[in-house]
Structure 1
Amino acid sequence: MSRIDYYSVAPDGLNQIMKVENYVNKTELDKTLKEYIKLRVSLINGCAYCVNMHTKDLIKIGEPFEKIACVSVWDEADYFTEKEGTALELAEYVTRISDQGVPDALYQKVREHFSEKEYVDLILAIAQINTWNRISISMGNRATAE
């Protein structure tokens, strides 16, 4: 339950956010990778509602529990490919962008695995889940067992 029915109060604004969401969903980025990015960013931002949602989404698509559980320590676990790890590292830097930006070395590392278009799509996917986290937390959305 939210503090405000924000879709009803500001439908034009939420429709614009949904346009970006629909774009991100249609990109050629791997769906599972996008879900791991959403989960990792939501963990960083402390959005329980989104952590709950994206954990359930990963379970629904058949990801192993052990891999899901290790997403916050991806760099210390053998579950993630180099490509996945690079995307998760980028997600962490973009989410914490005020700390140090996105270093050139990380950009080059990402580009070893992703094209220019995929890089832009990754940035949009990361920005989008950061937007949803901020909306969800600000509106008081809570994780539920349902």
Structure 2
Amino acid sequence: MSNGDQISRVALKKITPDVSAAMGSLHAAAVTAAQDAKVEPELLELVRIRASQLNGCAFCLDMHTKDARAQGETEQRIYALNAWRETPFFTERERAALALTEAVTFVADGHVPDDVYAEVAGVFDEAQVAALVWAATVINAYNRIAIATRMVPGAYQPKRAE
């Protein structure tokens, strides 16, 4: 079971294809909800990157920084995302979404404090708040899957617009 110093991990898609498909369906439904609510795709990538930073998920960081760049996100903002509170690079909406993402990711630390929720509810409508909660929830789940199975970063390439 060992590959050099690396222990090989379970291939979830192969061993539990129905559960993997259900996760894919959840992701697709969350993306559709965000599109329907008119949450900017670029903002969703910031949410995904920030949660992945907090969780230390190299695979998802590789994927979502590439997707963000493909959507036109700047290197400066991607590099500064880990310290978003200390920079002038993010809008009020982005800041609210990032604070919500952090609260959802670290839910045990404060159970999404009322001030964080009030901030996000002040700049997003209910459908958008719901979409952001789903986006943060889904990326947190994917982070745990990628980390637990040691998914290897580097090979992912974003789909090109036609």
Partner of 2:93: 83
Partner of 2:3: none
Match status 1:20 vs 2:26: yes
Greater Rg over alpha carbons, structure:
2
Shift of 1:54: 0.7
Q: Structure 2 stretches of 5 or more lacking a match?
A: 1-7, 157-162
Q: Which runs of 4+ in 1 moved over 2 A?
A: 2-5
Match status 1:94 vs 2:100: no
Identify which of structures 1 and 2 has the higher relative contact order when contacts are C-alpha pairs closer than 8 Å and 6+ apart: 1
Deviations, residues 42-97 of structure 1 (Å, cap 9, x unaligned):
00000011111111111111111001111111111111001101100110011001
TM-score, structure 1 normalization: 0.94
Identity percentage of aligned residues: 34
Of 32-41 and 56-65, the range deviating more from structure 2 = 56-65
Q: CA RMSD in A?
A: 1.3
Deviations, residues 7-64 of structure 1 (Å, cap 9, x unaligned):
1211111111111110122223110000000000000000011111111111111111
Partner of 1:5: 11
Equivalent position to 1:60, from 56, 59, 70: 70
Shift of 1:103: 1.1
Q: Structure 1 stretches of 5 or more lacking a match?
A: none
